[in-house]
Amino acid sequence: MSQRAVVLTACLNTYGSVSYPATPHTVHEIIASAVDANASGAAVAHIHGLHGMDEQGRATKPDLRAWQAIVEGIRRQCEMVVQFGVTVMDEADRLSVLDTARPDMMAVTLGDVHGIVEGKELYARHDRGELASLLARLREYGVTPELEVFNEGAIWNARWLIEKRLLRPRSDFLFFTLPVAFPGGIHSPANLHSLAYRSSLLPHDSEWQGICFVEPKGTATPAEQWRILAGSVALGGHTRVGVEDSPYFADGADAGSNAELVERLAWIVRNLGHRPAEAGELRARLSFR
């Protein structure tokens, strides 16, 4: 395969009680982390904006002003594509951050989410009616969906959406995320067969990235994660790294920042004979209108 522009996404943060030294917490820290990750080779900033917290440390309602400030702050400093991670938020909250902050991309999980996070069950239902209305809203705003495919059923839903003309291969930029190693009912094993198989079922003219969750949030080891990330690129996909998925360089070795993780991933991409995509060139390809 000739040299490709590989889209690297930096998943900068998450919410919940798991936190690492490299996790940015405030609006300013998230913006700074995005800008640094962009300088290291990431074209996309996948972010979870700020939320209120209940007494158990669980995220409650989104702080809409903070989500908006993060988008504006990143846009002021670089061309990075801003992508919202909203998988476990309810429909009303997802729509409110979309309406308020207008990212460039937003996660759309193509089916129910039934996972285990920090020993607790997490359930978010995304039925086909909801998917249809969310995609219509994204199209109205020109926000490109990041289509999450935890298993083959999600691909059936993608085909259903294509049949309904709510996703339009060729004219839309169809970008799928294939996660592995998220524990629970959405689990896929941390191996390349899992990625190769699911990617083979995707619509023509679509792109995909492989992502991997590391213990304690996920079921993979740090070494397994790096094999999945490198393997995603070798299989023709894109990939992502950052403290949402794992803060580790290797087993037992913490990264100091999201930028350091991106730098390492960019090195792997170049070592394979490819290059990290520039944010501007990805932005030019985004299309969902």
Nearer to other proteins, 141 or 156 (CB): 156
Measured from the CB of residue 151, what is the shortest distance to other proteins in angstroms?
A: 4
Using the rule CB under 8 A, is 33 a contact of other proteins? Answer: no
**Among candidate residues 78, 60, 70, the one with its CA nearest the CA of residue 28:** 70
Cα(227)–Cα(166) distance, integer angstroms: 35
Binding mask 101-140 for other proteins (x = CB under 8 A): ----------xx-x-x----x-x-x-xx------------
Binding mask 218-257 for other proteins (x = CB under 8 A): ----------------------------------------
Using the rule CB under 8 A, is 152 a contact of other proteins? Answer: yes
Nearer to other proteins, 90 or 99 (CB): 90
Measured from the CB of residue 197, what is the shortest distance to other proteins in angstroms?
A: 5
Using the rule CB under 8 A, is 88 a contact of other proteins? Answer: no
Nearer to other proteins, 49 or 115 (CB): 115
Measured from the CB of residue 59, what is the shortest distance to other proteins in angstroms?
A: 21
**Among candidate residues 229, 235, 203, 287, the one with its CA nearest the CA of residue 9:** 229
Using the rule CB under 8 A, is 157 a contact of other proteins? Answer: yes
Total binding residues for other proteins by CB under 8 A?
Answer: 30
Measured from the CB of residue 22, what is the shortest distance to other proteins in angstroms?
A: 28
Contact 82, 45 (CB under 8 A): yes
Measured from the CB of residue 131, what is the shortest distance to other proteins in angstroms?
A: 10
Contact 73, 41 (CB under 8 A): no
Q: How far is CA 45 from the centre of its chain?
A: 8
Binding mask 174-213 for other proteins (x = CB under 8 A): ---------xxxxxxx---xx--x--xx------------
Backbone φ, ψ for residue 287 (5° rounding): -155, 120
Using the rule CB under 8 A, is 5 a contact of other proteins? Answer: no
Measured from the CB of residue 273, what is the shortest distance to other proteins in angstroms?
A: 28
Nearer to other proteins, 73 or 185 (CB): 185
Using the rule CB under 8 A, is 150 a contact of other proteins? Answer: yes
Contact 268, 234 (CB under 8 A): no
Residues that bind other proteins in the complex, under the rule CB under 8 A: 111-112, 114, 116, 121, 123, 125, 127-128, 150-157, 160, 183-189, 193-194, 197, 200-201
